[in-house]
Amino acid sequence: MKLTVEALNPELCMGCGICKGVCMKSAIIYERNDIGQFLPKVNKEDCNQCGSCYAVCPGKGIEDSAIFNSMGQKIPEDEILGKIRSCFNAKITDENLRKKCTSGGMVTDLIRFLLNEGFYDVAFCVEDDNFEDQVNTKPQYKDSDFTKSAQSRYIAIAHTQMINYILKNREKKVIIVGTGCVIAGIRRVIERYKLKHNNYLILGLFCSMSLNYNSYDYLKLFSKEKLIQCKFRSKENGIYKYGNMKLVYRNGDSRYLHFIQKGYLKEYMLQERCLYCTDLMAIFADIAFGDNNTASADGDSTSVVVRTEAGENILKLFPKERYQIEKIQPEKLCRKGTLKDRRKHKKYAEIYASEKKVDLYPDRQSLITKQEEYEKIKQELDEKIKKICWGSNKKNLRKLYILLKIKMMRLQIFKRDLLNPIEGIKND
Ligand SMILES: Cc1cc2nc3c(=O)[nH]c(=O)nc-3n(C[C@H](O)[C@H](O)[C@H](O)COP(=O)(O)OP(=O)(O)OC[C@H]3O[C@@H](n4cnc5c(N)ncnc54)[C@H](O)[C@@H]3O)c2cc1C
Ligand code: SF4
Ligand code: SF4
Ligand code: SF4
């Protein structure tokens, strides 16, 4: 039996911070490696081999049946779409707050309402940017400044403080925000420590990837000034539908980068674990939130998927005048290509399993039937990994910066159409 998270292959770790949160011996610290991952390191002298860190780790694999059982649900027919009780697009009516949020502001305003009205004691969100160390979620209370926590951070976020808190304050009512992988780990923690399900509202964020921390070092290369904030989806520039990246510096300067830069980061600085992940739509959440990618996509509304009865009851409390909604059919929630891409990730996971003998989805059937298909997918996976290994390596960051500058210039000269929304961005 594997007892500590050090037994986990490093490429499967997404730095979620859950193992450190459950370790009652404080035997785990994180050390940043050359490819921008914060990996757990166990101090053997303090560790009593209790096995908790490994038991709750979402990196090692996802057992759908155990997690859905713990939620009182059956395994859904479609493991990508998950269980859907209802779904709709929505935008909050508070325009000032919405401008500061990623899409329709539903996550932030729902949290603000539930805390201010006393339904929950605390919510754990990402409060600020930290370009020197691992970013942790922090507690938000009634009357917190929610404009600071709004916005998605497309980087591996740790949830250590939140796990510490729920284990030490079992009676508190807590809102947890996280991506799919993190939620799988949180569900395991709730189960293993026999916490009361009703005390937690789990808000999931759709997620196609998160970046390693070398991406922050890469963004620092855009100026000699000290970087203090990165808004991955600033709406201030108003030109590109999904917002452009805004970098803010200590001297008050700021610059916008076209959203395509995020696409580049995704190619070169993705966490490898994300290549094996099928959980685009936070299937273990009470309510899941993502960009509205349906026909009415406007970059300013959120798709909301209600997955549990608890989630349904919470939305009944949220006053109808606080948000406008548009009903949608579940099959319209995400583009066909995106779904196909996730199913491909299942195939990547199968290839990983066959090579490393680690079954990441033990409850699911194989999708690869033919040897030729296996070879083709393996080649594609190897190429992707090669690219991220090269891009993620700290010593290549400058080369990557120059390479991507050249790519950007080429797009501006030869493929302007692709960049139409970039018109007016002066600083890219
Ligand atoms: C890593 C990542 C990848 C994503 N990928 C996709 C995608 O591929 N497709 C898609 O449709 N949507 C994706 N999303 C979700 C999308 O970016 C928005 O979060 C969602 O549409 C909700 O918008 P909102 O305006 O309601 O959220 P907001 O009101 O802006 O609130 C966002 C909340 O999430 C918290 N938060 C931000 N980053 C993190 C994080 N990394 N971990 C935990 N909490 C966080 C914030 O503190 C805030 O409370 C992703 C989000 C993240 C964090
Ligand atoms: S619990 Fe999270 S941080 Fe710890 S080893 Fe597993 S994936 Fe990595
Ligand atoms: S096995 Fe137990 S004591 Fe050892 S690092 Fe893991 S959680 Fe901590
Ligand atoms: S793609 Fe999957 S593994 Fe990667 S951060 Fe998102 S939910 Fe986690």
Tell me the ligand closest to 273's alpha carbon.
4
CATH number of the domain residue 29 falls in: 3.30.70
Name residues whose C-beta falls within 8 Å of residue 65's C-beta, 6 or more positions apart in sequence.
Answer: 75, 363
Which of 336, 358, 381 is where one domain is finished? 336
On whether both 43 and 126 belong to a single domain, the answer is no
- Per run of 10 residues, the mean pLDDT along the chain (length 428 residues) is 90 97 97 96 96 97 96 93 96 96 97 98 92 95 94 96 98 98 98 97 97 96 95 82 89 91 93 97 98 90 97 98 95 85 95 94 92 96 97 96 91 70 50
Q: Do 178 and 74 share a domain, yes or no?
A: yes
Q: Is residue 52 domain-shared with residue 73, that is, in the same domain?
A: no
The answer to whether residue 142 sits within a structural domain is: yes
Q: Quick one: pLDDT at residue 253?
A: 95
Q: Domain range spanning residue 193?
A: 64-336
Residue 179 Cβ inside 6 Å of ligand 1? The answer reads yes
**Alpha-carbon distances of 257 from 7, 223, 268, 421, rounded to whole Å:** 39, 12, 17, 11
Q: Tell whether 416 is covered by a domain.
A: no
Mutating to test ligand 2, I would choose from 4, 14, 192 the residue with most ligand atoms within 8 A of its C-beta, which is 14
| Within a domain: 362 | no
- Regarding whether 235 and 295 lie in a shared domain, the answer is yes
Point out the ligand 2 atom lying closest to the alpha carbon of residue 17: 3
Residue identified by tokens 């694999």 is 61
Q: Which of 15, 39, 56 is the last residue of a domain?
A: 56
Q: Is residue 378 in a domain? A: no
Q: Is the CB of 122 under 6 A from ligand 1?
A: no
What's the confidence (pLDDT) of residue 420? 62
- 332 belongs to a structural domain: yes
CA of 337 relative to ligand 2 center, distance in Å: 30
* pLDDT score, position 417: 64
pLDDT value at position 240?
72
In a domain, 88, yes or no: yes
CA of 161 to the centre of ligand 3 (A): 17
Domain-located, residue 317: yes
Asked whether residue 147 falls in the same domain as residue 170, the answer is: yes
Residue nearest to atom 7 of ligand 3 (CA): 23
* 207/270 same-domain check: yes
Q: Is position 20 within any domain?
A: yes
Nearest to 201 by CA among 287, 87, 94, 279: 287
Question: Are 198 and 95 within one domain?
Answer: yes
Those residues whose C-beta lies under 8 Å from the C-beta of residue 24, and which sit 6 or more positions away, are 50, 52
Choosing from 12, 181, 348 the residue with most ligand 4 atoms within 8 A of its CB, the one to mutate for a pocket test is: 181
Q: Give the whole-angstrom CA distance, residue 90 versus residue 326.
A: 6
Note the pTM of the prediction, 2 decimals.
0.96
Q: Which tokens sit at 112? A: 């603000």
Q: Which long-range contacts (CB under 8 A, 24 or more apart) does 139-144 make?
A: 139/165, 140/111, 140/115, 141/115, 142/115, 142/116, 142/118, 143/116, 144/115
Query: 197 and 310 in contact (C-beta within 8 Å)?
Result: yes
Establish whether residue 167 lines the binding site of ligand 3, counting it when its CB lies within 6 angstroms of any ligand atom. Answer: no
The span from the CA of 79 to the CA of 283, in Å, is: 8
Last residue of a domain, one of 56, 73, 91: 56
Cα dist from 128 to 112, 137, 138, 390, 396, whole Å: 17, 9, 9, 29, 27
Same domain assignment for residues 24 and 76: no
Nearest ligand 4 atom to alpha carbon 180: 7
Q: Is the C-beta atom of 58 inside 6 A of ligand 4?
A: no
Angle of the 336-356 helix axis to the 371-392 helix axis, nearest 10 = 90
Both 125 and 235 in one domain: the answer is yes
> Quick one: 117 and 39 in the same domain?
no
Q: Are residues 168 and 303 in the same domain?
A: yes
Domain count, the chain: 2
From the CA of 18, give the closest atom in ligand 2. Answer: 1
Task: Clarify whether residues 30 and 114 are in a common domain.
Answer: no
